[in-house]
Every structure is written in C-alpha cells, then in structure tokens.
Structure 1
Amino acid sequence: MTDEQLALQAVREAQGILEEYLQPRPRNNERVILDRLVEVLERPELLVAINRMQRGL
C-alpha cells in the first residue's frame, strides 16, 4: 500500500468514526470515540507514511 493510500484509508476510517459519533442519540461515549480516533491516527505505519510524504514536499 502506498503512503497516499494509507493516509486516505486512515481519513476514511476517522470520518466513519465521526459520522457514527454524530448520529442523533445520547452521548456518553466521548472517551471511546476519542480512543478510536487516536488508534486510527497514531498507527505507526501511518505516521511513517505521513513523515515520508511531508519530506517529499
């Protein structure tokens, strides 16, 4: 998977988590949502890919 594909996949996953959170229902799971977002956005392979893309600019 390319760096761009890894980044796009992470953005899609993060968007899905946020869409789920924004559904109209009682919210008492903010910490769970935050933990899920951090899990997606702090993946080591994603961080390396983003670093490589930034250096390529």
Structure 2
Amino acid sequence: MQDEELALKAVSDAQRILEEYLKPQPRNNERAILDQLVEVLERPDLIVAVGRMHHR
C-alpha cells in the first residue's frame, strides 16, 4: 500500500470511530474510543509513511 493510501485509510478509520462516538447515546466508553484512535494513528507503517510524506 502506498503512503497516501495508508494515510487515507487511517483518516477514514479515525472518522468512523469518531462518528460512532458522536452518535446520540449514553457514553461511558471514552477510554475505549481513545484507545481505538491511538491504535489507528500509531500504526508503525502509518508513522513511517507520514514521515516520508513530510520529507517529499
């Protein structure tokens, strides 16, 4: 997968997580949401890809 594709997938995954969180419903899972976002945004391949994109 190319760097741009990895970045777009991560953004899409993060948006999906946030959309689920923003649905009107009782919330007691803020930590789980944060953990999911960290898991998406701290993927080693994504970190490397974003670093390469910054250096272009």
TM-score bin, normalised by smaller chain: over 0.9
Q: Identify unmatched segments of 5+ residues in structure 1.
A: none
What is the alpha-carbon distance in structure 2 between the residues aligned to residue 13 and residue 25 of structure 1?
A: 20
Q: Which residue is 1:5 aligned to? A: 5
Structure 1 runs of 4+ aligned residues shifted over 3 Å read none
| Partner SS for 1:12 | helix
Q: Which residue is 1:37 aligned to? A: 37
Q: Identify unmatched segments of 5+ residues in structure 2.
A: none
Q: Equivalences for 1:36-55 in 2 at 5 Å?
A: 36-55=36-55
- CA offset at residue 55 of structure 1? 0.5
Identity of aligned residues (%): 70
Task: Tell me the C-alpha RMSD between the 2 structures.
Answer: 0.2
Q: Which residue is 1:25 aligned to? A: 25
Q: 1:12-55: CA deviations, max 9, x gaps?
A: 00000000000000000000000000000000000000000000
What is the alpha-carbon distance in structure 1 between the residues aligned to residue 13 and residue 43 of structure 2?
A: 12
